[in-house]
Structure 1
Amino acid sequence: MRRWLGLLVAATTSVVLIALLVPTALLIRTVAENGALARATSAAESVVVAVGTPDLQQAVERVAQPVSVFLPGGQVVGRPAPVSDAVRLAGAGRSVTAEAPGGREVLVSVRSAEGPVVIRVFVSDAELSAGVREAWLALLLLGLALVVLGILLADRLALRVTRPVHELSRVSHRLAGGDLEARAEPGGPPEVESVGVALNHLAGRIGGLLDAERESVADLSHRLRTPLTGLRLDAEALRDPEEAARIGARVDALERAVSALISEARVRSAPEDGCDATAVVGDRVRFWAVLAEDQERAFEVELPGGPLEVAVSAADLAACVDALLGNVFAHTPEGVAFAVRLAAHERGAVLTVADEGPGFPAELLERGSSGGGSTGLGLDIARRTAQASGGEMTVSRAAVELILGR
């Protein structure tokens, strides 16, 4: 915008200056010519008074300009000059100004006792244009200075408009990236300032809505887990063991589905933030290590030697690791070994959870690898976590690999 405003002002100023300076330049040239011709006419008139007197030669010599006096007998007093058509016309009694080689000649006709006398004063082109080039150069410099000044003023004015607009753009990108604390500093013209105020109001409104959604999710979690606990107690109180196991399995499936829905809602409502994947994965592995030792499971852990930042919040990454390790403990026999590996990747980090169990069913492998459909084994949580960071999830026979963006 700054460049376009500068070009617009430069073009407008140039048109206005051309419309003003060109006539002014022509007027300066005309004034210079008229002044030179007026001085020549005045010189000729100073010689007229000496015509017919012995002082004619002295009068001619006193004039600074080239003067020629054509007497009736064909004699020429002063500077020799050819008898041109204009001189002959002046000899007939008409005072004229005519073009001559190298300038102009001013001819004044005078009647004397011997006959017509013609006084010729020659004005060179240099005299006719004296001071014109200097004046034109001054006008040109003035025009350029005005154009530059106009561009500078336009640039300052454009900066007052573009700087707040760039600030609004920067804040909007921060809001789109999840930084709900970003606020614009209203400024610039009133219209742009009102946009900044509206953007700040919108950001505050978005933050309030997300806070309300998180509170609703937390309340939903408490509301659903209470009746689920009651159902589990009722199932355990049944006398028929088979019926109790069947209902308990359905309650477990319902609880997993509810937990997945709540986790998904939390992921949508939680602000996007990064975390140190090394610290989070290490903490969750230490948590599950207690249960692994109790079930006599051998496990292998490979973590980077330093921090590894990823574009996933610590809570989301912890929930993802818990879901993957929970699958290992829930769907493999006790004593089956597993491994957790975290390494740097060109896109951020790669997390792999593998076990030595029977592996996933073929239909689940197809859905998990493609990222479509619900697996029912917590892999949806892991897949959404990877995709939210700009990565992806791949499921093989006995391993899940997540690529987490930074």
Structure 2
Amino acid sequence: MRRRLINSTLAVVLVVIAVFGVSLVLVETRTISSSAQESVDSEAVRLVSIVDSRLIGGEPVNPGILSEQSGAKRYALIEIPGRPSIEIGKRPTGSVIRGVAYGERDETVTVEESRSSVTREVGRTLLIIGGGALLAVIAAVLLAVRQANRLASPLTDLAETAERLGSGDPRPRHKRYGVPELDRVADVLDASAERIARMLTAERRLAADASHQLRTPLTALSMRLEEITVTDDPETVKEEASIALAQVERLTDVVERLLTNSRDPRIGSAVVFDLDEIVKQQLEEWRPAYRSAGRAIVCSGRHGMGAVGTPGAVAQVLAALIENSLMHGGGTVAVRTRVTGNQAVVEVTDEGPGVPADLGARIFERTISGRNSTGIGLAVARDLAEADGGRLELLQQHPPVFALFLSRVQRSRKGNHGPTVR
């Protein structure tokens, strides 16, 4: 493209120079020839007028006097009837320009000048025109190269940007070139890069969330299946199989929830549900893991509360808090339910060292962890809580107290017996 731009610009300049240059040469040649002829004619008229005046006055006419008075620089031949011819200057050879004038006494003055002087003048004019044309060609080349670079370099940059996008590097360049059409293409490529970056980030986030959120349910499910394989009691098998089926359903709900959040976190399927059921499920799922670790998990507080949200999402939030206490906490883990205003609150605390002071304000950020873990669990839990219109907070760092706030539904006081321990 750069070569084509340079060649096209040069072609236009050369055509213009050819058209106007030839015309200018013709005009200048004619002008120089006409000027030379007029000069010769003028000198002949001047000489004949001097000769007339001297003849009328009876004064002598000779070459010296005529040359001195006329200042003649060309060859002149003066012919006076009845007198010898008078010559001034050296007669030119070859082609000449001739001027003739006639006086009142029938004298004839002929002035001649070699055409070589006109040729030299035309040559100087052609040299000047040629120099101007050469400068115009050089300027055209420089301008063509500049314009070609101005247009070709941005196209090369845009091609590299498109290639980077195709190779999986979605970083926008935010580079503009001062050409509206090219800047428009750059805007579109940058916007595409930002969209691709968001899509890749969402996919990576979904993969990380899925691997983290599915690990615990799959581990609990495998433990149930192991218990089924080592028992011969049909009742135990039936009970464990029922629990495993319930876990599979929750696992399916987790997958659907993750996919929904990856598309649009604002989309939810909030319903009124029994908070006690969710807490009970989580206690049943996590007690084997806590027994294996030599620790206990207990629940206390108000029961019989109805909350608004997505049961699967609430279960995943509680699972993340319980798992966090199992991995990073110590001693007994306590799950406590209470009411504050029109909200139902589920608190999870343990007897461990708590959250470090430097991580308190950032504990829910992704990749932030007090130990060598992914730092994803609490971030995903907060996202799930907020998607249901609730919120997840760290109420206390030492000992750690995490609280899940959900909208509460007022129920009849029947069956509400105040705080209990289960």
Q: For the pair shown, which has the larger CA radius of gyration, 1 or 2?
A: 2
TM-score range, shorter chain: 0.3 to 0.5
- TM-score, normalization by structure 2: 0.45
